[in-house]
Copies of this chain bind each other. A is one copy, B any other.
Amino acid sequence: MKKGVVVIGGGPAGMVSALTAHRYYPEKDITLIKNVEKGVIPCGIPYMVSSMGNPEENGLSMLPLEKAGIEIIMDEVKKINRKEKSVSTEEGNDFPYEKLVLALGSKPFIPPILGVEKEGIYQIEKEMGYLKKMVATIRKSRNVLVVGGGFIGVEFADEISKIKGTTVYLVEMFPRLLLNSFDLEFGSLVEEKLESEGVKVLTNKRVIEFVGDKRVEKAKFEDGETVDVDCVILGIGSIPNSDLAVESGLDMTKKSGIWVDEYMRTNDPDIFAVGDCALKRDFFTRREVLVMLASTATSEARVAGASLYNLRVVRENKGALGIYSTYVDGLALGSAGLTEGNARKEGFEITIGNFEGIDKHPAALPNANKIKIKLIFSSYSGIIMGGQVAGGESCGELINAIGIAIQKRVSFSELETLQIATHPRLTSAPTKYPIVLAANDAASKMLVKQ
């Protein structure tokens, strides 16, 4: 049998690993083995409920791989034979490899709630057939309960609220939504928005039991309250899918999956791991963190794919930044790097820059939105460590501009005199550009301190 690169996993991390390997090592045979017949675009899952008329629109296309001549095998890998350098599958086949990439992904965390196994209760599985059933159930339900106020839960609640006649409850055990990625003043914007859509946001609340015969009929909370439900969505998070790696004796980390170095190499020099199943180090502290985002996973896949046979290009995984955006009924939010809360918890001495403005200029132009920004700087070095934005759709790319600034460790004084493109229909005014004005605000505070 031919040898070359074998990739296990058909999600974004696996796909991009295979495509990058093909680009850097076109002379090698590349095989991708996946165990899900019809995959989906992970971040598109909530939008299968309403925004997409037909959930099938969220299918993950394998076409780019086919075009590149990458062999796609539908099978489940059961064993990695590290000595022989091959993998064995459920269907009894052996695939030898020179280099192996593990893109095993993650699996939904199922909370130990009484009755969690009842019918009508769904977790976020990345498989089309399962999700189509879930969407069909949601669309015909009268009362849907979403468990978990992270971005998956928030996006599901927003989408379900658009179905006429359906009541949606969003339950979060902490005092506010999006706690991990946003400070209070941003999280509360989301809460207000969801409530204005009719979502019943229940914070500081914990489900302790799902009641019903075979099917879920009620959810019972710790405080004794109950609500009637026909359908429950569990959006509480995921855990690395790393059993295969454990069994093959690769070094593991405590909670974030397979140990990898800066080039995504495991302790076996011929095996790489990327995405949700691989160790993430925090961008600032280098400590182990749980970050499960397709954008982080694909970035790692590009590092791995390029580094398989030799480190041709000096590059590195700088650590996971935690950069993402979300959208609730016209309100877009983005977060990159450390929040104020997380920075203080870590012990960083920080200075905050805030600004509120309008995302067009003059404000009288059509579709102008309020825009709100917060930047977090290291007080001592002046370097930007984090940013949060909320406003119209332009926030989707604005957070990426901030993300580049963080990744390049830009200082507040550089941001104050940043050269930017502004346009009446597209951005804030040059005199009131959010990143610049927030850096100004932080600078004023630093001047006072000196």
Question: How far apart are the CA atoms of A296 and B418 in the complex, in Å?
Answer: 9
Rounded to whole Å, the gap between the CB of A361 and the closest CB of chain B is 6
Question: How far apart are the CA atoms of A395 and B41 in the complex, in Å?
Answer: 23
Give the interface size class of chain A: 35 or more
Rounded to whole Å, the gap between the CB of A76 and the closest CB of chain B is 23
Rounded to whole Å, the gap between the CB of A431 and the closest CB of chain B is 5
Q: When the two chains form the complex, which single residue of B421, B426, B447 contacts A403, counting CB atoms closer than 8 Å?
A: B421
Rounded to whole Å, the gap between the CB of A351 and the closest CB of chain B is 14
Number of copies of this protein chain within its complex: 2
**At the interface with chain B, which of A128-136, A165-173, A238-246, A316-324?**
A316-324
Given A394-B394, A396-B427, A424-B44, answer yes or no on A417-B365 (Cβ-Cβ < 8 Å).
no
Q: Which of A334-377 contact B (CB under 8 A)?
A: 334-336, 361-362, 364-366
- Do the beta carbons of B325 and A41 come within 8 Å of each other? no
A315 at the A/B interface (Cβ < 8 Å)? Answer: yes
Q: Which of A292-328 contact B (CB under 8 A)?
A: 293-299, 302-303, 306, 312-315, 317-318, 320-321, 323-327
Given A12-B430, A364-B52, A393-B425, answer yes or no on A420-B408 (Cβ-Cβ < 8 Å).
no
- Do the beta carbons of B427 and A397 come within 8 Å of each other? yes
Residue of B nearest to A395 (CB): B426
Rounded to whole Å, the gap between the CB of A280 and the closest CB of chain B is 11
Question: How far apart are the CA atoms of A47 and B394 in the complex, in Å?
Answer: 20
Interface string of A11-55 (1 = CB under 8 A from B): 010011000000110000000000000000101100100011010
Which of A54, A398, A425, A436 is the most central at the interface, judged by chain B CB atoms within 10 Å of its CB?
A: A425
Q: When the two chains form the complex, which single residue of B295, B299, B313 contacts A413, counting CB atoms closer than 8 Å?
A: B313
Residue of B nearest to A314 (CB): B413
A407 at the A/B interface (Cβ < 8 Å)? Answer: yes
Interface string of A236-277 (1 = CB under 8 A from B): 000000000000000000000000000000000000000000
Q: When the two chains form the complex, which single residue of B320, B332, B436, B443 contacts A426, counting CB atoms closer than 8 Å?
A: B332
Rounded to whole Å, the gap between the CB of A315 and the closest CB of chain B is 5
Which of A57, A393, A410 is the most central at the interface, judged by chain B CB atoms within 10 Å of its CB?
A: A393
Q: When the two chains form the complex, which single residue of B326, B366, B398 contacts A51, counting CB atoms closer than 8 Å?
A: B366
- Do the beta carbons of A52 and B404 come within 8 Å of each other? no
Q: Which B residues are CB-close (under 8 A) to A393?
A: 393-394, 425-426
Q: Which B residues are CB-close (under 8 A) to A294?
A: 422, 429-431
- Do the beta carbons of A326 and B423 come within 8 Å of each other? yes
Query: What are 20 A-B residue pairs whose CB atoms fall within 8 Å in the complex?
Result: A23-B443, A23-B444, A43-B422, A44-B362, A47-B424, A51-B365, A51-B425, A298-B431, A323-B421, A325-B422, A334-B421, A335-B421, A395-B426, A396-B425, A397-B426, A400-B420, A401-B403, A403-B421, A407-B418, A408-B408
Known: A313-B443, A324-B422. 14 other contacts (CB 8 A): A12-B430, A41-B361, A41-B429, A47-B424, A51-B424, A295-B421, A298-B436, A299-B417, A299-B420, A395-B426, A400-B420, A400-B421, A401-B401, A408-B408
Closest 8 CB pairs of A and B: A396-B426, A397-B397, A57-B364, A295-B430, A401-B401, A325-B423, A294-B430, A327-B425
